[in-house]
A and B are shown apart, each in its own frame.
Chain A
Amino acid sequence: MKTNELKARDHFHHHVYPSPFHSRQAQANKQNVWSRWADYLSVPTYYDTSLEYFSARNSCGVFDLTPMVKHRVSGPDALAYLNRLVTRDVSKLKAGRVGYAVWCNDEGQVIDDGTIFHLSPGVYRVCSQEHQIDWFMTSALGFDVEIVDETHDVAGLAVQGPTSCAILKKMGLQGVENLTPFGMQSFAFEGTQLGVSRTGYTGDLGYELWIDPEHAEVLWDRLFEAGKFHGIRPLGSEALEMLRIEAGFILAGVDFLPAQHAVRPTHTRSPLELGLAWLVDFKKPVFTGRRALLAEQKRGSRYALVKLDIDGNKVAHDSYVYTRDKTFAGTITSAMWSPSAKASIALASLEAPHGKPGEELLVEIYYQRELKWNRVMAPCRVVESVFWDPPRKRLTPPADF
């Protein structure tokens, strides 16, 4: 599905469109259950969430990320523009590198997070969860830049897991093993260009592949052919959700409310409140949100988004968090049983002054066993490191398994 086709006058006949990988997804989708991701059909679970999850932790899982919103930013002021847009210093991002970034409104509240791909000198791609063209264009006042939404013109696959490098090599991407984390490179592939970046949303070794939608099916086929003996398996969104929580990645609309959506203006979060202070570079003289964030730094934040390690085996979905003396401290934003850490883990938004590493808290968990509901106040603590962080994630070249 390309931009032009979505623009057809009769687009309304379908609420949702097949992804460029749809024919292959349909074959693999044993459950034949579909969910929606923006304009596209997406697969929550192909076969079994747990098995899909383990494919990405143990061998290789493939996730369709075509619906991800993608903007191309180019023009003489592209760098200056991006540097004013996001909180981090983009000038440090060399061509061929990828960086995670957040952008804020003037009040220093996060509009969205995403990744910036420095495709070639002065040409960038910004991927995000939410549509951003309104804010990106608003921010373009006074800059000589071109901003194009290319969401539908680029198909994407995440290829994640310890055998992912081996599979790509086998598929013929020579030298892909030399890509360092957050590096990217373009390969000739079936008469077109295949972009490969060593990035992902799983916290493990993994790559993301970018290609013209017309070559989507052949890419899928070649990939699965190459991965036949390396445990390759399609990955649904439910397994991906587990992977990202273990990796400590936040999700817009789940762990924070994007500022453009906030009818209740106090429900938003600043990057400092999301634990992303490392992404804020006050040395830059101007970026949107700087004044407010400087003031916040001085005054102190209202919230802290933290990782919780929870005692016991109950999952803390939608729970309240209390101090040990049972005063309210915050709420859980994401929670799961981590099959890799073998622990009940969660991300939580705590009210200041809570959230210091090591702080001991309680989580109020409601759970049921055979329709009987129980409540437990589970002890937990704030931890600093992510729940899954294997050395192979950083190793270059990666091992084949």
Chain B
Amino acid sequence: MKKYDAIVIGAGHNGITNAAYLAKAGLSVLMVEKNPWIGGASVSRELHKGWMYSNCSYVCSLLRPEVYRSLNLARYGLQVVPYGGSVTMAQNGDILGSYVDEDVARREIARHSKRDSDAVVRYHRDIMRQCRFIRKFLLRTAPDPTSFRMRDIREMLFLGKEASKLGEEGLYEMMRFYTMNLKDFLDEYFESPLIKAAYAGSGIIGSALGVMSPGTAYVLLHHAMGEVDGNPGAWGFARGGMGAIAKAMNACFEEYGGQTVLGSGVKQIMVKNGAVTGVALDNGDEHYADVVVSNMTFPRTFLECMDAKDLEPSFLKKVRNFKIRGSSGKLNIALDGLPDFPALRGNTELIKGDMHLIDSIERLERAYDDWKDGMWSQDPYIDMLIPSLTDPTMAPPGKHFMSVFVQYVPPKVHGEEWTDAQRDQFGQTVINQINDYAPGFKDLILHAEVRTPRELENEVGLTEGNIFQGELTMDQLMFNRPIPGFAQYRGPAKGLYMCGSSNHPGGGVMAAPGANAAREILLDLRKPNTVPEGWVDD
């Protein structure tokens, strides 16, 4: 069989990004994907006739604009359309709307607390300060603090320089921010329980931590550091669902001559004399290359697709200890019509954005307690959206597609594998909760896809169903991601690389790990770099 310059395993958005940059540099690249479709968790599928589901990821903000531009994704058909507000609905029937208009937004908060409506200025300022710092590191490889190599020292100095720009107070604030819990952090700004709950929600999405666990304030950033057209923190829909992102990336990859094999997973990454030689597929085919890039999760790459004898036992132990606990579920629902939320009647904008059903920090934390007990939350936190209100391609006219993201859902139920019956019960828990806020909702359901961490793992290979390919806690960030000593996208065998969200800077449809890994590969191969630098924002 033909020998390629590089083989990329997994056609998730990071895999395609990586493959595209490699192909752009003139490499012959083969991408292999176990599913008969591309996209991984950035996918749109028509599971119910006439409806397009964003099955996994469902909104777009983190996608690095530098990647968007340098891969010409607009030319390949990608459109990201921002949506307006978001709303938090309380049990007492009141709401907290988040409006695009600054003054309307302020008045809305002022309905709940005058002081909070003003404190929100300070809150956004402080969050933006942290975002501005972290953004500089998204399209950079994290330095190894134990290394004395020139490049690592230079990058450490860069980190130090950027940190010192924060000033003395700023540095203290940053130290606190990274170590505090979300509840305490929000308590320093707000008094209204509803407002705190509304802000706290975005800090737990995908996280296996509760709002009262130290180190959770940071997760807020992961949902605030993105942008749409330079509007920081804005979120949008990819027209045609999240699969449109993967599709555009793939079109770019193909134009650079990339090839793809679909429908057969990797059985094994082949290693000879400490160097990779290629991959053996489930269908028996073998493909050869001196560079193999895995977009699979860190554990999946090494525990399932490699021969243990090719790896050090101490390395394997660290792989097993990698924290990648699933904490989220998802319902994709085809609706016969628009659900009626009495709390939102007449509010034509808010229903187009994220809708949350929560009104206190305590409810959020109790939802987490259920997860620790090995149960899905009985009163879960959900982030639901009706993309078909914005994107006409998602459902037939007058009908709607609803995406419901659910936190917390355990990877196993009381330590046992999920059963189909439990999955359906979980789905009912969520549907019942929505129905409480939108009477008659149940009757609108034409079809529902219920996804627990089990489905996420089986379908798109996210180990334990963790949507970020590994938890975003301090022990797994920057030079610790996925594990110390392997945070520069290079695996333990020569020619083996990792480009998935298990690597810095982590999950979300960001494309940064894929891009960063490509830069490192091209550096090792002494090929011209095709990966863009991060845009400077001063």
A132: chain B residues within 8 A (beta carbon): 118
Of the listed stretches A240-248, A255-263, A358-366, A393-401, name the one at the interface; the rest are far from the partner chain: A255-263
A134, B118: Cβ atoms under 8 Å? yes
- Tell which of B97, B121, B167, B349 touches A134, judged by Cβ atoms closer than 8 Å: B121
Question: A321 CA to B94 CA in the complex, in Å?
Answer: 53
B121, A131: Cβ atoms under 8 Å? yes
A286: chain B residues within 8 A (beta carbon): none
Produce 1/0 per residue, A238-279, CB < 8 A to B: 000000000000000000000011111110000000000000
B170 interface residue per 8 A CB criterion: yes
A383 interface residue per 8 A CB criterion: no
Given A12-B97, A12-B99, are A39 and B107 neighbors across the interface (CB < 8 Å)? Answer: yes
A190 interface residue per 8 A CB criterion: no
Of the listed stretches B64-72, B122-130, B204-212, B433-441, name the one at the interface; the rest are far from the partner chain: B122-130
B129: chain A residues within 8 A (beta carbon): 263, 265
B103, A10: Cβ atoms under 8 Å? no
Produce 1/0 per residue, B166-185, CB < 8 A to A: 11011000000000000000
B128, A12: Cβ atoms under 8 Å? no
- Tell which of B104, B111, B117, B170 touches A131, judged by Cβ atoms closer than 8 Å: B117
Given A261-B125, A266-B167, are A15 and B104 neighbors across the interface (CB < 8 Å)? Answer: yes
A263, B132: Cβ atoms under 8 Å? yes
B108 interface residue per 8 A CB criterion: yes
B108: chain A residues within 8 A (beta carbon): 11-12
B156: chain A residues within 8 A (beta carbon): none
B346: chain A residues within 8 A (beta carbon): 10, 13
B428 interface residue per 8 A CB criterion: no
B122, A263: Cβ atoms under 8 Å? no
- Tell which of A6, A131, A263 touches B128, judged by Cβ atoms closer than 8 Å: A263
Question: A314 CA to B220 CA in the complex, in Å?
Answer: 48
Chain B CB count within 10 A is highest, among A10, A11, A16, for: A11
A137, B125: Cβ atoms under 8 Å? no
B114, A133: Cβ atoms under 8 Å? yes
A7 interface residue per 8 A CB criterion: yes
B125, A9: Cβ atoms under 8 Å? no
Question: A117 CA to B135 CA in the complex, in Å?
Answer: 45
Chain B CB count within 10 A is highest, among A131, A134, A149, for: A134
- Tell which of A11, A261, A265, A266 touches B111, judged by Cβ atoms closer than 8 Å: A11
- Tell which of B103, B114, B115, B167 touches A265, judged by Cβ atoms closer than 8 Å: B167
Produce 1/0 per residue, A133-159, CB < 8 A to B: 111010000000000010000000000
Q: Who on chain B is nearest to A10 by CB?
A: B346
A38 interface residue per 8 A CB criterion: yes
A149, B97: Cβ atoms under 8 Å? no
B117, A12: Cβ atoms under 8 Å? no
B306 interface residue per 8 A CB criterion: no
Question: A265 CA to B128 CA in the complex, in Å?
Answer: 11
Question: A7 CA to B104 CA in the complex, in Å?
Answer: 11
Q: Who on chain B is nearest to A39 by CB?
A: B103
B106 interface residue per 8 A CB criterion: yes
- Tell which of A107, A260, A266 touches B125, judged by Cβ atoms closer than 8 Å: A260
Given A10-B346, A15-B101, are A134 and B107 neighbors across the interface (CB < 8 Å)? Answer: no
B121: chain A residues within 8 A (beta carbon): 131, 134, 260-261
A36 interface residue per 8 A CB criterion: yes
User: From residue A19, how far is it (CB to closest CB) to chain B in Å?
Assistant: 14
B422 interface residue per 8 A CB criterion: no
B110 interface residue per 8 A CB criterion: yes
User: From residue B136, how far is it (CB to closest CB) to chain A in Å?
Assistant: 13
Produce 1/0 per residue, B128-159, CB < 8 A to A: 11001000000000000000000000000000
- Tell which of A7, A36, A261, A265 touches B170, judged by Cβ atoms closer than 8 Å: A265
User: From residue B147, how far is it (CB to closest CB) to chain A in Å?
Assistant: 32
Q: Who on chain B is nearest to A106 by CB?
A: B169
A137: chain B residues within 8 A (beta carbon): 115
A12, B347: Cβ atoms under 8 Å? yes
Question: A39 CA to B101 CA in the complex, in Å?
Answer: 11
Question: A259 CA to B115 CA in the complex, in Å?
Answer: 17
Q: Who on chain A is nearest to B97 by CB?
A: A12
A11, B107: Cβ atoms under 8 Å? yes
Chain A CB count within 10 A is highest, among B116, B117, B118, B169, for: B118
Question: A16 CA to B106 CA in the complex, in Å?
Answer: 12
Question: A264 CA to B334 CA in the complex, in Å?
Answer: 45
Question: A16 CA to B117 CA in the complex, in Å?
Answer: 16
B111, A134: Cβ atoms under 8 Å? no
Question: A137 CA to B103 CA in the complex, in Å?
Answer: 21
- Tell which of B104, B115, B116, B167 touches A12, judged by Cβ atoms closer than 8 Å: B104
Q: Who on chain B is nearest to A11 by CB?
A: B107
Q: Who on chain B is nearest to A262 by CB?
A: B125
User: From residue B165, how far is it (CB to closest CB) to chain A in Å?
Assistant: 8
Produce 1/0 per residue, A343-375, CB < 8 A to B: 000000000000000000000000000000000
Produce 1/0 per residue, B86-107, CB < 8 A to A: 0000000010010101011011
B167: chain A residues within 8 A (beta carbon): 265-266
B448: chain A residues within 8 A (beta carbon): none
User: From residue B233, how far is it (CB to closest CB) to chain A in Å?
Assistant: 12
B122, A149: Cβ atoms under 8 Å? no
Q: Who on chain A is nearest to B191 by CB?
A: A137
B166, A133: Cβ atoms under 8 Å? no
A6: chain B residues within 8 A (beta carbon): 107, 110
B125, A263: Cβ atoms under 8 Å? yes
Given A12-B347, A107-B169, are A133 and B118 neighbors across the interface (CB < 8 Å)? Answer: yes
A11: chain B residues within 8 A (beta carbon): 104, 107-108, 111
Q: Who on chain B is nearest to A40 by CB?
A: B103
Question: A255 CA to B106 CA in the complex, in Å?
Answer: 24
Q: Who on chain A is nearest to B120 by CB?
A: A134
- Tell which of A9, A260, A264 touches B122, judged by Cβ atoms closer than 8 Å: A260
B261 interface residue per 8 A CB criterion: no
B349: chain A residues within 8 A (beta carbon): 12
B522 interface residue per 8 A CB criterion: no
B280: chain A residues within 8 A (beta carbon): none
User: From residue B163, how far is it (CB to closest CB) to chain A in Å?
Assistant: 13
A265, B104: Cβ atoms under 8 Å? no
User: From residue B513, how far is it (CB to closest CB) to chain A in Å?
Assistant: 27
Question: A279 CA to B228 CA in the complex, in Å?
Answer: 43
User: From residue A308, how far is it (CB to closest CB) to chain B in Å?
Assistant: 26
A263: chain B residues within 8 A (beta carbon): 125, 128-129, 132
Question: A189 CA to B360 CA in the complex, in Å?
Answer: 48
Question: A298 CA to B59 CA in the complex, in Å?
Answer: 53
B27 interface residue per 8 A CB criterion: no
A262: chain B residues within 8 A (beta carbon): 125
User: From residue A110, how far is it (CB to closest CB) to chain B in Å?
Assistant: 15
User: From residue B85, how far is it (CB to closest CB) to chain A in Å?
Assistant: 9
Q: Who on chain A is nearest to B538 by CB?
A: A264
B169, A15: Cβ atoms under 8 Å? no
A9, B104: Cβ atoms under 8 Å? no
B117: chain A residues within 8 A (beta carbon): 131, 133
User: From residue A215, how far is it (CB to closest CB) to chain B in Å?
Assistant: 24
B445 interface residue per 8 A CB criterion: no
Question: A11 CA to B108 CA in the complex, in Å?
Answer: 8
A12: chain B residues within 8 A (beta carbon): 97, 99, 104, 107-108, 347, 349
B119 interface residue per 8 A CB criterion: yes
Chain B CB count within 10 A is highest, among A10, A12, A38, A107, for: A12
B115, A133: Cβ atoms under 8 Å? yes
Q: Which 8 pairs across A and B sit closest by C-beta, in order of nearness?
A: A134-B118, A134-B119, A131-B118, A263-B128, A15-B101, A133-B118, A11-B107, A133-B115
Q: A12-B349, A134-B115 are in contact. List 10 more A-B contacts (CB 8 A).
A: A9-B111, A10-B346, A11-B111, A12-B97, A12-B104, A15-B103, A131-B117, A137-B115, A263-B125, A265-B170
Q: What are 20 A-B interface contacts by the 8 Å CB criterion?
A: A7-B111, A10-B346, A11-B104, A11-B108, A12-B97, A12-B107, A15-B103, A16-B103, A36-B103, A107-B169, A133-B118, A134-B115, A134-B118, A134-B119, A134-B122, A260-B121, A263-B125, A263-B129, A263-B132, A265-B166
B residues whose Cβ falls under 8 Å from a Cβ of A? 94, 97, 99, 101, 103-104, 106-108, 110-111, 114-119, 121-122, 125, 128-129, 132, 166-167, 169-170, 346-347, 349
